[in-house]
Amino acid sequence: MNYDQNQDLLYEGKAKKVFATKKADQLRLFFKDDLTAFNAQKKGSFQGKGALNRDLASLFFSFLAANKVKSHHVSDMGLTEMIVQKLQMIPLEAVVRNFMAGSFAKKMGRDEGEKLAFPIVEFYFKDDALNDPFLSDEQILVLGIEKAAVVEQIKVKTLQINSLLRDLFSQAGFDLIDFKIEWGRNAKAELILGDEISPDSCRIWDQKTHEKFDKDRFRRDLGGVEEAYAEVYRRLKSVRENQS
């Protein structure tokens, strides 16, 4: 069967396609080879990127499950797809920062790389037309996007994921500089981690050389994008194999 057929396509995003499945409570995510930056103003791709990101997302979700953090991941399918629980997505990007980098460094006129005194969580409204604007917690409440208790729950769970991922990356010789995740609710109204975790949505630096192993290689035309993603997978896979 050709699973790439578009007949059950519900949505095509910048990096993934979302398909309906025979089960009403499950979706199929197809990870594309496309790479975009700056709200898709910059576009690229490399062969095998979808497969690498699917494998990495799957590795992270199984690692989190082993640490009692539930995600939408149900199973992998083929090389580039994943069956997930269908979620009602919360239209927020939860960004954790462990180090000064990216838009935080830019807006404060700071160099990248300074370790922050403690990890912070920021929220961005997921809306391409508005270019995903930053939202304060109070702006989220006053706009009625989520209730205070849910915002707090997302922060606590996001920081818990941060601490697990930092440790995993550290064992692979990487610093997890910052990352973005997305949350949603399943049919039982449980708050569940959705979307993906991959070098598209994280900043990952080598602990010794501070070399970048993430989408900044593409954003900043540093070259070696494919090699960097492959190296992240190679090192993390080896750590996971030694854990089991």
Coil, helix or strand at residue 35: strand
Question: Considering only CA atoms, which of 35, 15, 6 is closest in space to residue 195?
Answer: 15
Q: Which is nearer to ligand ADP, 31 or 63 (CB)?
A: 31
Say whether residue 35 binds ligand ADP (CB under 6 A): no
| Residues that contact ligand ADP, how many (by CB under 6 A) | 17
Among 219, 224, 230, 240, binds ligand ASP (CB under 6 A): 219
Say whether residue 102 binds ligand TMP (CB under 6 A): yes
The answer to whether 214 and 112 are in contact (CB under 8 A) is no
Token representation of residue 174: 């990487």
Measured N-to-C along each axis, helices 148-171 and 49-66 cross at an angle, to the nearest 10 degrees, of 110
Coil, helix or strand at residue 34: strand
Report strand pairing: 115-125 vs 134-135.
antiparallel
Say whether residue 175 binds ligand TMP (CB under 6 A): no
Say whether residue 195 binds ligand ADP (CB under 6 A): yes
Token representation of residue 228: 């960097």
Say whether residue 178 binds ligand TMP (CB under 6 A): yes
Say whether residue 93 binds ligand ADP (CB under 6 A): no
Stretch touching ligand ADP by CB under 6 A, among 7-15, 97-105, 148-156, 160-168: 7-15
Say whether residue 53 binds ligand ASP (CB under 6 A): no
Q: Of all residues in the chain, what percent are helix, strand and coil, respectively (each to 5)?
A: 35, 35, 35
Q: Which is nearer to ligand ADP, 80 or 85 (CB)?
A: 85
Question: Given the rule CB under 6 A, which residues bind ligand ADP?
Answer: 11, 13-16, 18, 27, 72, 84-87, 89, 182, 184, 194-195
